[in-house]
Structure 1
Amino acid sequence: MFDVNIKYGDFSISSVEREDVKHIQLWYNNQKSFLYNSNDYLGTNEFYERFLEYYMSECEIFLKIIKRNNIIGIFRGRIEFKNKNIVWASCFAMESASLDNNEGNIILDKILKYFLHNFGIEDFLIGVSVKDKKILNVLKNSGFQMVRISNDFFMNESNNGNAVILKKKIYN
């Protein structure tokens, strides 16, 4: 688990703590912009299991994005330490209103620069659903380039979906 604390204007981006889990789960399940069917909702136990995965691993990242004391987003991923260290983001989700007014781009930039300046990480990968048009626009506007499409990446009883893998390299 990485301890992250970023302040920017009305925004606070920080590591998720145990007491945050229930609030984040409720927020996540209330988001219509990226939940496409009833199977996308996460129960309390499943959400807590994801929190424990992050909490117990030294390479995991799980951030809450707060604006004026309200959760407006989350960022989850891991750092892979290799020849070139990379951040692999598995979830970047924000409220629709924040994505529409460029806040998503600003927040993403702050997160990426935090890992660049604090850990020297220049390479970032993220996988998102092809259905998530607003996040895809934020990523493309932030300089992410498509690497590949993974067919049938998201699968459950009612449907399946493709994921787009995007990459960005930033420099000091």
Structure 2
Amino acid sequence: MFDIRLNFKNVEISSVEKEDLDSVYKWFINGLNCNFDKKQKPLTQKQFYEMFLAYYLSECEFFLKVERKKETIGIVKGAIEFKNPNQVWLKWFFINEQFRNEGVGTEILKKIINYFYRECRINDFYIKVPKCYINILQFFKKNDFKLIGFSNEKNQYQDKVMILKK
């Protein structure tokens, strides 16, 4: 687990701790699953907790809450792969809908990328985006991520998963 703490303006990005799980899970369920495809089953609290444990016990994963004025406005989850060159894979990058198109997501993404460059000298960042999530795709393209291919893995989206790299 990477312990990360970043602050800018009135936004704090920090690692999710056990005592954060209930509130972060509620934010996730209330704010995000309503936007997902209705065929997709939402994560249960038990599944969410198991994901937290996997992150907590891993040396290479990070799970971040994003807060503004002590209110959760987003979560970011990912992993570092130590290869040649080293890579960061963003698995989740969710920001409250009310903060989109204000530049908050871009600033959060830049702070996280700068952190991993500064602390670990990582230049390669990846994310997998289901083709059906055009808004997310546009956000990452706007932030200099380029389409490099498609994943062959089966997924719950019943859509091609695009791999983007910065």
Do both proteins adopt the same fold according to a TM-score greater than 0.5, normalized to the shorter chain?
yes
Specify every segment of 5 or more residues in structure 1 that has no aligned partner in the other structure, as ranges.
Answer: none
Q: Which structure features the higher share of strand residues?
A: 1
Partner in structure 2 of residue 68 of structure 1: 69
* Identical-pair percentage: 38
- Secondary structure at the aligned position of 2:31 is classed as coil
The one-letter code of the counterpart of 2:164 is: L
| TM-align CA RMSD | 1.7
Q: CA deviation at 1:38?
A: 5.8
The one-letter code of the counterpart of 1:100 is: N
Partner in structure 1 of residue 46 of structure 2: 45
Partner in structure 2 of residue 148 of structure 1: 149
Q: Following TM superposition, where does structure 1 have runs of at least 4 consecutive aligned residues deviating by more than 4 angstroms? A: none
**8 Å CA contact retained: 1:91, 1:128:** no
Is 1:127 aligned to residue 104 of structure 2? no
TM-score (norm 1): 0.89
Q: CA deviation at 1:39?
A: 3.0
1:62-98: CA deviation from partner (whole Å, max 9, x where unpaired): 1111111111111111101111111011111111122
Partner in structure 1 of residue 165 of structure 2: 167
Partner in structure 1 of residue 19 of structure 2: 19
Once structures 1 and 2 are overlaid, which stretch shifts more, 34-43 or 120-129?
Answer: 34-43
Once structures 1 and 2 are overlaid, which stretch shifts more, 95-104 or 69-78?
Answer: 95-104
Q: Distance in 2 between matches of 1:37 and 1:15?
A: 30
Change (3 A) 1:41 1:66: same
Q: Distance in 1 between matches of 2:132 and 2:121?
A: 32
Q: CA deviation at 1:165?
A: 0.9
Q: Distance in 1 between matches of 2:29 and 2:21?
A: 12
The one-letter code of the counterpart of 2:141 is: K
Q: Distance in 2 between matches of 1:125 and 1:6?
A: 21
TM-score (norm 2): 0.92
Q: Distance in 2 between matches of 1:139 and 1:68?
A: 26
- Secondary structure at the aligned position of 1:100 is classed as coil
Specify every segment of 5 or more residues in structure 2 that has no aligned partner in the other structure, as ranges.
Answer: none
**8 Å CA contact retained: 1:151, 1:161:** no
Q: Distance in 2 between matches of 1:36 and 1:27?
A: 18
Partner in structure 2 of residue 30 of structure 1: 30
